[in-house]
Amino acid sequence: MTHPTAAQADDAMPDRDLPVGAHLVTRRHGYVHHGIYVGDGNVIHYAGLAHRLSGGPVEIVSVDGFCAGFELAIVRHTRPLYDGTEAARRAASRLGECRYRLLT
């Protein structure tokens, strides 16, 4: 995974120990799925093609719903652009957005 502020993925801890604003990933078949942990066992992510071929909106789901049976990892950024609360706030501001594009 490449990121402008060097990052590495670690095995995640149980969701009760995830910090708000954590950058979460699950390695799916052929791609890596990303989300932001917003507390109370919830993750904000692009639904993408999970629900329909036209792409789904940014939505809030449980950690288990985000993982969909795949292993969960947390990406630790050495120099994050935003603190956890701000990252979660920014993710929440995108709820309902439906601009997912598979190739871009």
Per residue in 26-81, pLDDT tens?
998 888 889 999 999 999 999 876 555 556 899 999 999 999 999 999 999 999 99
Instruction: Report residue 102's pLDDT band, with 50, 70 and 90 as the boundaries.
Output: low
Taking the CA atoms of residue 101, residue 94, residue 47 and residue 98 in that order, the dihedral angle to the nearest 10 degrees is -50
The per-residue pLDDT for 78 is 93
Residue 45 in tokens: 């992510």
Instruction: Report residue 8's pLDDT band, with 50, 70 and 90 as the boundaries.
Output: low
76, 85 in Cβ contact below 8 A?
A: no
Q: Measured between alpha carbons, how far is 58 from 29 in angstroms, rounded to an integer?
A: 21
The per-residue pLDDT for 17 is 85
- Does domain 7-92 fall under CATH 3.90.700.10? My reply is no
Per residue in 11-24, pLDDT tens?
555 556 899 999 99
pTM reported for the whole predicted model: 0.81
Judged by DSSP in three states, 28 sits in: strand
